[in-house]
Amino acid sequence: MLDVLISALTQGLIYALLCYGLLISYKILDFPDLTVDGSFPLGAAVTALLITNGVHPLLTLPVAMLAGALAGLATGLIHVCLKVRDLLAGIITMTALFSIDLKIAGSNLPIPRGVDTLFTLPALDALLGSVSLSGKKLIVSFVIALLFKFLLDLYFRTGSGMLLRAAGDNPVLVTSLAKSEGKAKILGLVLSNSLVALCGAVVCQEQRSFSSTMGTGQMVLGLASVIIGLTVFKKLSFVKLTTAALVGSILYKFCIQAAILAGLDPSLLKLITAVLFLAILAVGSFERRRKGGGARA
């Protein structure tokens, strides 16, 4: 029983990285970024390739983030410089990334048990002693999720972070400050996709494999998690956005786990996600109407 909770919690913590990424693109920039479905497996492909070639598991993370950043940069440049619509810019990069991911990894690539991952580092054994593997996975993912939450919180307080937030809320203000709204958008996409690729990298190490289709539906999954989190904490202004994303991610994975445990037909799972998603949005919109407010979800 406890195992089931730990496993769902671990998944939620790992996917929190994806949710931070979507928090930036969707919530802060108001940019529906489909690059995610390509940058997630990109991070995984890079990691699988490096780690099977003997690179240290920790070192693969910054490389994966860099790869994700480049993907975000591509979408940003396509959108800002070529004036391609946001949704299309993301689709173009995502489509290109599908081939690139396959070229990087060859084909679907397993990481053999003999190869150490983030979760089986010898240093962890020394530190945690006899903690079980699922315990280690929980601790490592907890540390990573919190670390990046605090880093993001810090970043949002810097000048660049403030500008990023303004670019989504009030582009006029950004322009009046003599700053380029385009540059802020590109920066946001770079940051967002590097987090998404990082998530792909950690997932790849956790499940010890890269598969070319692992990115499918990640954008919607992340979006659903972020919106769950934001809805739950809607009335609490003191709760940070990153906290909302983190909790949303965990709640989402709990829901999926409950559905699997209940023996739900997996082919219906996506439909249920969509209905859940719609219900949350509908409740939010209903409440706003009752209060007469006009804020968007």
Partner 1 sequence: MKNQMKKIFSLLAAAILLLSSLALFSCEKTLPVIGINQYAQHPSLDNCRTGFLAGLAEAGLTEGKDFSVDVQNAGADDNLNAQIASTFASKNAALMVGIATPSAMACFNAAEEKDIPVVFIAVTDPAAASLTEGNVTGTSDRLPVTAQLELIRKLQPDAKTIGILYTLSEPNSVSAIAEYKEKAPSYGFTIEAVGVAAQSEVPLATDSLIAKKVDCFSNLTDNGVVDVLDSILEKTNAAGIPVYGSEVEQVKKGCVASAGIDYYKLGIQTGKLAARILRREAKAADIPFEAVTEYEIYLNETACGELDVSVPADVAASAVKADA
Q: Which residues bind partner 1 (CB under 8 A)?
A: 1, 3-8, 11, 98-99, 102, 106-114, 132-134, 207-209, 211-214, 216-218, 221, 232-233, 235-236, 251, 254-258, 260-263, 266-267, 269
Contacts 24+ apart (CB under 8 A), 131-136: 134/3, 134/6, 134/7, 134/10, 135/6
| 114 vs 122, beta carbon nearer partner 1 | 114
Beta-strand runs (E) in the chain: 109-110, 209-210
| 159 vs 263, beta carbon nearer partner 1 | 263
| 156 vs 254, beta carbon nearer partner 1 | 254
Q: Is 61 exposed, middle or buried (0-12, 13-18, 19+ CB in 10 A)?
A: buried
Q: In terms of Cα–Cα distance, which of 136, 131, 132 is closest to 119?
A: 136
| 59 vs 236, beta carbon nearer partner 1 | 236
CB of 61 to partner 1, least distance (A): 19
CB of 74 to partner 1, least distance (A): 18
Q: In terms of Cα–Cα distance, which of 151, 149, 201 is closest to 39?
A: 201
| 128 vs 133, beta carbon nearer partner 1 | 133
CB of 171 to partner 1, least distance (A): 32
Q: How many CB atoms lie within 10 A of CB 273?
A: 18
Q: How many CB atoms lie within 10 A of CB 212?
A: 17
CB of 259 to partner 1, least distance (A): 9
CB of 159 to partner 1, least distance (A): 31
C-alpha torsion angle, residues 129, 130, 131, 133 (rounded to 10): 110
Judged by DSSP in three states, 117 sits in: coil
Residue pair 215/45 in contact by the 8 Å Cβ criterion: no
| 182 vs 217, beta carbon nearer partner 1 | 217
| 120 vs 180, beta carbon nearer partner 1 | 120
Query: What is the β-pairing status of strands 209-210 and 109-110?
Result: antiparallel
Residue pair 69/194 in contact by the 8 Å Cβ criterion: yes
| 98 vs 156, beta carbon nearer partner 1 | 98
Helices 181-207 and 159-169 pack at an angle, to 10 degrees, of 100
CB of 187 to partner 1, least distance (A): 29
CB of 31 to partner 1, least distance (A): 23
CB of 17 to partner 1, least distance (A): 14
Q: In terms of Cα–Cα distance, which of 243, 144, 148, 130 is closest to 203?
A: 144
